[in-house]
């Protein structure tokens, strides 16, 4: 998605060879107009899949997922990283190792919101090693629901996430695929000269 790539080039900040900071439009301040375009793109890509729910993880997955769910006309559910006091024991639980925080969190989703009649689209802001997506897939499986696929705003293709998810048999659609962050410079997969 050209507009997203332009935002990454102009407003992204390469923190290291592995980490990109995009708190100017996605992870802290949110560019609502850009997120609306992201939502439209995902909705277009997955419109034939009969999706009934969009599932993401708090907090950075919520903005693009909200816009996608609005376009698809489905509810959005976000997995919680901390168990809420108002949440009873009626929950699906999965463990997720966080790439950025380097700690393992238990994520939870109420059993009230996903069941075997659902077809679920999983969305997230970044794909690194696939741990967040695999944790969400585990919850969809526990619910006995159908997986439509995985939508990612920014994929770091030099990490193993896509490989893990495709190996497990899932459709992965990423709106921007980063080949490298080396030397403080973003190179996209589709810019590679072969
Ligand atoms: P994974 O679970 O695929 O290893 O990592 C994806 C999760 O880690 C995303 O939910 C995202 O919040 C975070 N993440 C991974 N890499 C980056 C990065 O380069 N920048 C930012 N801002 N978040 C990242």
**Dist. CA 82–CA 123, nearest whole Å:** 19
181 lines ligand 1 (CB under 6 A): no
14 C-beta closer than 6 A to ligand 1: no
Summarize pLDDT for 55-80 with one digit per residue, the tens: 999 999 999 999 999 999 999 999 99
132 lines ligand 1 (CB under 6 A): yes
Tell me what pLDDT residue 100 has.
Answer: 84
Ligand 1 pocket: which of 94, 126, 131 to mutate (most atoms within 8 A of CB) = 126
Q: How far is the CA of 129 from the centre of ligand 1 (A)?
A: 8
Q: Of 146, 111, 121, 154, nearest to 19 (Cα)?
A: 154
Q: What does the pLDDT read at residue 99?
A: 83
What percent of the chain is modeled with pLDDT above 70? 97
Distance from Cα 62 to the centre of ligand 1, integer Å: 14
Nearest 5 degrees, angle CA 147-CA 153-CA 158? 95
Distance 32 CA to ligand 1 centre (A): 20
The pLDDT tens digits of the residues spanning 74-100 come to: 999 999 998 766 667 899 999 999 888
Ligand 1 atom 8, closest CA: 99
Q: What is the dihedral of CA 192, 32, 129, 120, to 10 degrees?
A: -110
Residue range 2-58, pLDDT digits in tens: 999 999 999 999 999 999 999 999 999 999 999 999 999 999 999 999 999 999 999
| pTM for the predicted model, two decimal places | 0.96
Binding residues: 20, 27, 128-132, 156
Residue 167 is encoded by which pair of tokens?
């190996």
What residues contact 92, with CB distance under 8 A and at least 6 apart? 108, 109, 110, 111, 114, 139, 142, 143
pLDDT digits (tens, 9 = 90+) for 149-160: 999 999 999 999
Whole-number Å distance between alpha carbons of 17 and 117: 42
Residue 173: strand pairing partners: 151
What's the mean pLDDT in 110-132?
97
Count of residues making up the chain: 194
Angle at 26 between CA 20 and CA 30, to 5 degrees: 150
ipTM: 0.99
């Amino acid at each position: 998605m050209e507009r997203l790539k332009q935002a990454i080039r102009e407003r992204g900040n390469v923190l290291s060879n592995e980490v990109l900071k995009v708190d100017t439009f996605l992870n802290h301040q949110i560019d609502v107009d850009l997120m609306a375009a992201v939502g439209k793109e995902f909705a277009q890509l997955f419109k034939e899949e009969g999706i009934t729910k969009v599932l993401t993880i708090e907090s950075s997955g919520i903005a693009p997922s909200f816009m996608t769910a609005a376009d698809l006309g489905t509810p959005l559910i976000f997995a919680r990283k901390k168990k809420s006091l108002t949440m009873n024991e009626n929950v699906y639980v999965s463990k997720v190792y966080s790439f950025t925080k380097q700690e393992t969190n238990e994520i939870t989703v109420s059993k009230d919101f996903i069941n075997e009649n659902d077809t679920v689209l999983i969305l997230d802001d970044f794909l690194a090693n696939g741990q967040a997506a695999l944790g969400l897939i585990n919850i969809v499986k526990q619910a006995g629901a159908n997986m439509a696929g995985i939508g990612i705003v920014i994929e770091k293709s030099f990490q193993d996430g896509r490989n893990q998810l495709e190996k497990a048999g899932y459709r992965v659609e990423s709106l921007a695929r980063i080949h490298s962050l080396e030397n403080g410079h973003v190179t996209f997969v589709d810019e590679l000269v072969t």
